[in-house]
Amino acid sequence: MSEEYNIVIVGAGPAGLAAATTASKYTNKILIVDENIKPGGQLSKQTHKFFGSKNHYASVRGVNICNILLDGLSKEKVCFRPETSAIGFYKPDTLIIQDKEGLHKIKGNKFIFATGAIENMVSFENNDLPGVYGAGAMQTLMNLYGVKPAEKVLMLGAGNIGLIVSYQLMQAGVEIMGVVEASPFIGGYHVHAAKLRRMGVPILTSHTVKGVYGDGKVEKAIIHKLGGGFEPLHGTEKTIEIDTLCLAVGLTPSVELLHQAGCNIKFIKELSGYVSVHDDMMETNIPGVFVAGDASGVEEASAAMLEGNMAGLKAAYDIEGFNRSVFLNEKEIVEFELKSLRTGPFCERAQAGKKRLMVEER
Amino acid sequence: MRLKDHPVLDFKFEEKKKVSFIFNGETLYGYEGEPIAAALHDNGVRVLRRSPKLNRDRGIFCAIGKCSSCLMNVNGIPNIKTCVEPLKEGDIVKYQDKKGNIRGD
């Protein structure tokens, strides 16, 4: 016998939790499954205060936003299963999940895949040596479990993640030997870069890592300068003694499950990889299957939460068919907030990507 | 080392249960319910397995159960994602050579 739910959400990160928050206002029998031990996804690891307006939880720390979302979920309406992997979807209404007891069939009316993204890797010598960690892994160790992740770190990537995680590492007492960025420009907000510079951390643009070396673990890194065409400039090599190289070189949407389910998958460079085509309310080409958050294109947590709100709203509306003006009103609010969030020079890329995704869909 | 004096976060270690587990025959300590990989990292263990083809050392990479870099043998079962596997008292954790085998050696 299989369990039955109105809405099944895969992923308990910002998008998944926001989807459950909105959906549970209008319907019940909602299930969230997540592979991890604790809910919250990457949101629970963000010790910095968020930007944006009050509606986007501005100046609230990510970890507190996560707690607000979790506390707001009604236990009668939303069931959470940690340490559970969603491993397959069968049209039109069956999800296969795996936990300690084995495989289970879950029946659902609507599905929201908020599967997030995975850290990118880059090519350099010995990039598989223990001590080459994704930025998210460093955050998991230090901000969720209170383990000092390293002593001396070199950060690769000066986007927001690279800058913010460098600062978080310093808060955990880790020495940051420098931030290395291949592009000639710092990709992240200058307020984050300025904070690091004030603490005396060098940010080296037009530089990259040639390789890391050591016996069974990272002991040093060699960096070099890059020319205008990103070619390595010989004779510019510098050796830096470190025990960990942290990679913050972007993320790739996790669309495996959506792909397997039969969603229309497109490569959109601006959204960081293969993403599932979806409409303005996050529904994919398979009726009743929604996507939200980084899995629909890598942005950041505030956008992920709004996309989750949108998907949760539409899924609940399709089930319950509640008052249409209430639905349209709430839709308009989320649309407006998404739009205002995506204005500004740092969001041009994501917005262009989303536009392409919608146009190509038609 | 644990972060007992963090400017933003309080991990409340005094409220957590300390448990012992065995890694390659050695008794180590960690907190109940935290990922095995985090407890090992705290004990200074960086190499968790060897790669199947090129026989190279592997440690944590993603820490969210996506990359397979931390697969180990736990209580006789190979290929356990130790970054999302909660630690229990008395767990027997072993370094995994290549694909691992069901006998646990």
Task: Identify residue A211 by its one-letter amino acid code.
Answer: G
Tally the domains of chain B: 1
Q: Is B17 exposed, middle or buried (0-12, 13-18, 19+ CB in 10 A)?
A: exposed
The complex's ipTM works out to 0.94
3-state SS track over A141-157: HHHHCCECCCCEEEEEC
In chain A, residues with a C-beta closer than 8 Å to the C-beta of B38 are 140-141, 145, 147
What distance in Å separates the CA atoms of residue A104 and residue A115, rounded to the nearest whole number?
19
Full DSSP string of A241-252: E-SEEEE-S-EE
Collect the ranges in chain A with pLDDT lower than 70: 1, 345-346, 359-362
- The answer to whether the CB of A334 falls within 8 A of the CB of A310 is yes
Q: How far is A25 from chain B (nearest CA, A)?
A: 30
Residue B104 in this model has a pLDDT that exceeds 60: no
Q: Terminal CA-to-CA distance of chain B, rounded, Å?
A: 30
In chain A, residues with a C-beta closer than 8 Å to the C-beta of B57 are 129-130, 216-217
pLDDT digits (tens, 9 = 90+) for A153-181: 999 999 999 999 999 999 999 999 999 99
Give the list of residues 6+ apart from residue B57 with CB closer than 8 angstroms, or none: A129, A130, A216, A217, B47, B49, B50, B51
Q: Within a domain: residue B99?
A: no
Q: Which of A246, A253, A243, A248 is nearest to A296 (CA)?
A: A253
Q: Within a domain: residue B9?
A: no
Residue B102 in this model has a pLDDT that exceeds 80: no
pLDDT (0 to 100) of residue A346? 67
- Pick B6's closest partner by Cβ from A61, A121, A171: A171
* DSSP three-state, residue A171: helix
Q: Within a domain: residue B7?
A: no
What distance in Å separates the CA atoms of residue A16 and residue A9, rounded to the nearest whole number?
6
Backbone angles phi, psi at A146, to 5 degrees: 65, 30
pTM: 0.92
What distance in Å separates the CA atoms of residue A55 and residue A59, rounded to the nearest whole number?
11
Interface test with chain B among A98, A141, A169, by most B beta carbons within 10 Å = A141
In chain A, residues with a C-beta closer than 8 Å to the C-beta of B6 are 146, 171-172
pLDDT (0 to 100) of residue A362? 47
**Do A118 and B46 make contact, defined as CB atoms within 8 angstroms?**
no
CATH number of the domain to which B64 belongs:
3.10.20.440
pLDDT (0 to 100) of residue A340? 86
- Pick A130's closest partner by Cβ from B1, B6, B59: B59
The whole-number average pLDDT for the span B66-79 is 93
Residue span of the structural domain in which B62 resides: 18-94
Q: Within a domain: residue B23?
A: yes
What distance in Å separates the CA atoms of residue A102 and residue B91, rounded to the nearest whole number?
20
In chain A, residues with a C-beta closer than 8 Å to the C-beta of B63 are 133-134, 136-137, 140-141
3-state SS track over A111-147: EEECCCEEECCCCCECCCCCCEEEHHHHHHHHHHCCE
Interface residue ranges in chain B relative to chain A, Cβ cutoff 8 Å = 1-4, 6-9, 11, 13, 31, 33-35, 38, 41-42, 46-48, 51, 56-67, 69, 83-84, 86
**Do A119 and B1 make contact, defined as CB atoms within 8 angstroms?**
no
Helix axes A14-26, A62-72, angle to 10 degrees: 30
pLDDT (0 to 100) of residue A333? 94
pLDDT digits (tens, 9 = 90+) for B8-55: 999 999 999 999 999 999 999 999 999 999 999 999 999 999 999 999
* DSSP three-state, residue A35: coil
- The answer to whether the CB of A127 falls within 8 A of the CB of A134 is no
What distance in Å separates the CA atoms of residue A29 and residue A77, rounded to the nearest whole number?
5
Q: Within a domain: residue B79?
A: yes
- The answer to whether the CB of A52 falls within 8 A of the CB of A343 is no
pLDDT digits (tens, 9 = 90+) for A187-208: 999 999 999 999 999 999 999 9
**Do A83 and B86 make contact, defined as CB atoms within 8 angstroms?**
yes
The token pair at A94 is 């069956």
Distance of CA A74 to the CA centre of its chain: 25
Interface test with chain A among B1, B3, B68, by most A beta carbons within 10 Å = B3
- The answer to whether the CB of B79 falls within 8 A of the CB of B92 is no
pLDDT (0 to 100) of residue A348? 78
Q: Which of A158, A152, A202 is nearest to A178 (CA)?
A: A202
Q: How far is A258 from chain B (nearest CA, A)?
A: 16
The token pair at A82 is 């940690």
pLDDT (0 to 100) of residue A197? 95
Q: Within a domain: residue B6?
A: no
Complete domains list, chain A, with CATH: 3-118+251-361 (3.50.50.60), 121-247 (3.50.50.60)
- For A14, A16, A138, A143, the CA distances from B8, given in Å and listed in that order, are 20, 25, 16, 9
- Pick B11's closest partner by Cβ from A121, A137, A146: A146
In chain B, residues with a C-beta closer than 8 Å to the C-beta of A85 are 65
Q: Within a domain: residue B85?
A: yes
Q: How far is B66 from chain A (nearest CA, A)?
A: 7
In chain B, residues with a C-beta closer than 8 Å to the C-beta of A66 are none
Q: How far is B65 from chain A (nearest CA, A)?
A: 7
